[in-house]
Amino acid sequence: MQRRAFLKTAAGAGLGAVAASRSAFAADAEIVLTPGTPGPVISPHIYGHFIEHLGGVIYDGIWVGRDSKIPNVGGIRKRFVDDMKRIAAPNLRWPGGCFADGYHWRDGIGPAAERPRTYNFWEPRMPKGVHATETNRFGIHEFMHLCRLVGAEPYVAANVGSSTPKEFHDWVAYCNAPRGTLSLADERAAHGAEEPFAIRYWGVGNESWGCGGDMKAGEYATEYRKFVTQFPMYTQPYLVATGPRGHSADRDLGWTEGFFEGMQGGHRSRVDGFALHYYTDFRQTPEDGAKFDAKGWYAVLHKGVRMQEVIEDHWRVMGQYDPEHHTKLVIDEWGNWYRGGTELGPAYLLSQTITLRDALHAAMTFDIFNRNAEKIEMANVAQTINCLHSLFAAVENQYTRTPAYYTFEMYRAHMGARLIPMEVKVPELTVPILDGSAKLAGISGSASIRDRRLSVTLTNPSLDAAVTAGIRLAGGGRVAEGRGTVLTHEDMTARNTFDDPDNVTLAELSVQIRGDAAHVTIPKQAVVALELQVS
Ligand code: AHR
């Protein structure tokens, strides 16, 4: 890997390159922040979550049952609740994923023992002899209980693929109508929820081009219109349409064009959000979650930052139909997806080992989300526990945070803060990837401001060398004091296990104020988060 001595020009608002000049800081990287011209607010929902009835995500991961010996709050794993509160998890998307378009909400209400056992989309993939039938023990009431415990806003994905507008509208009314108005509202109250759930975010299907009904974009647009036109307006909704498979070779721009083309006759149909899925997809390669070399490390980070182009491309197409961009992006599935083989156990479908590499990938993805804050209403990692890019692993009474969890903790300060322009001057890296070599920014970063406190996140993807960085403010202010945290490990494949849950964890990072600038050393293969006070 070589550092090439030319400027990095980052795409997207808020991160640009400064003119090449003599180093003002005697540092490898020169970073200039402009707090005087703040950009958009970074929606807290960018740091959102996704949980599905899939393998060990809901059952065992989250729902352990009220009678379990595992510490729980009304059946929900307590450690999970505590950690989700710690990162201020802003939302939870549920019940799928592919499961959503086979889910019938009535199966999940009423006394648990009387709930039916039903087919789960993922059942055929479960190992032989393992009973994967859906027990419906976790339904809308349990989901809302979880949301309230965590303080997260619910985002419910409705069934379009095997359901009807009536079933959807009844679910919305059951959730949102005040008691004493509709019979459905009284039924909800009889099941223990007197007050409406007031659910705002509704996904109208999931991956309708695939497991959600195998539709063409125009066909889905027709369904979408039917599903939303008579939407029961008890709570002002935020309606999310199924968007593209952004990780396709062609980025699936045809879906975005076809959908919005199909909506042109639907003038009464609102589309508040458009769900883009982008997996850093290595399923068809030998790339493994646990064992990899430098090529694998860089290949994953390099493919991850394609997120920027995917956002730009779809945003451009959306703008052709909606020049004022009323419709925002909802990136409700993102994360790394390896070929498989590192599952927590045969029944823990799609679970995989999460390492330091995944933590850096998440950081670089969040920097992209922050820098595109004006385009993105929400994003949801796939999936929060016991799945692809998970923050937690849990098997029965064993539990650990993964390295990716710490990225969420480090980025918490950006939630709801204002994006500020960041200029970075740093040599670009030329790195090996699976099939040749590629260019990677020497540093990924983003910055935000709240009151007079700046939050700066920086990632050094290099496996070879630390980077010293000098950070100063444009426009007159100066950094008065600062503190930092760092996430790194000498082993790039480092992970946390049930026996060694603190192998990868946060440490303090020294921030030195010299003159009007803050100076830090970002170790190799590391993410740092800085809090800087402006005077
Ligand atoms: O996150 C796993 C699966 O990936 C989801 O169920 C589906 O929407 C996507 O294809």
pLDDT digits 0-9 by tens, 190-247: 999 999 999 999 999 999 999 999 999 999 999 999 999 999 999 999 999 999 999 9
Nearest to 363 by CA among 307, 299, 426: 307
What confidence tier does 131 reach under pLDDT thresholds 50, 70, 90? Answer: confident
pLDDT tens for 17-47 read 333 333 334 579 999 999 999 999 999 999 9
Asked if residue 143 has pLDDT above 70, the reply is yes
Nearest to 533 by CA among 471, 486, 487: 471
Residue 19 dihedral angles phi and psi, to the nearest 5°: -60, 145
pLDDT tens for 364-406 read 999 999 999 999 999 999 999 999 999 999 999 999 999 999 9
CA distance 224 to 205: 8
What confidence tier does 304 reach under pLDDT thresholds 50, 70, 90? Answer: very high
Mean pLDDT of the chain: 94
pLDDT tens for 1-23 read 544 332 232 333 334 333 333 33
CB atoms within 10 A of CB 47: 26
Report pLDDT for 158.
98
Distance between Cα 390 and ligand 1 center (Å): 13
For the segment 301-310, the average pLDDT, to the nearest whole number, is 98
Residue nearest to atom 5 of ligand 1 (CA): 97
Report pLDDT for 26.
53
Distance between Cα 382 and ligand 1 center (Å): 8
CA distance 508 to 438: 32
- Cβ contact 442:429 at 8 Å: yes
159: left (phi over 0), alpha (psi -120 to 50) or beta: beta
Looking at 333, 343, 409, 428, which residue is catalytic?
Answer: 333
pLDDT tens for 415-470 read 999 999 999 999 999 999 999 999 999 999 999 999 999 999 999 999 999 999 99
Report pLDDT for 527.
98
- Cβ contact 285:292 at 8 Å: no
What confidence tier does 476 reach under pLDDT thresholds 50, 70, 90? Answer: confident
- Residue labelled with tokens 């705002």: 200
Given ligand 1 and candidates 93, 277, 333, which is best to mutate, with the most ligand atoms within 8 Å of its CB?
A: 333
Pairing mode of beta strands 418-419, 444-450: antiparallel
Report pLDDT for 10.
32
CA distance 90 to 48: 6
Distance between Cα 99 and ligand 1 center (Å): 8
Residue nearest to atom 3 of ligand 1 (CA): 97
Asked if residue 526 has pLDDT above 70, the reply is yes
Residue 454 dihedral angles phi and psi, to the nearest 5°: -100, 140
Lowest mean pLDDT among 103-112, 141-150, 174-183, 259-268: 259-268
457 in contact with ligand 1, CB cutoff 6 A: no
Query: Which of residues 19 and 53 earns the better pLDDT score?
Result: 53
Asked if residue 327 has pLDDT above 70, the reply is yes
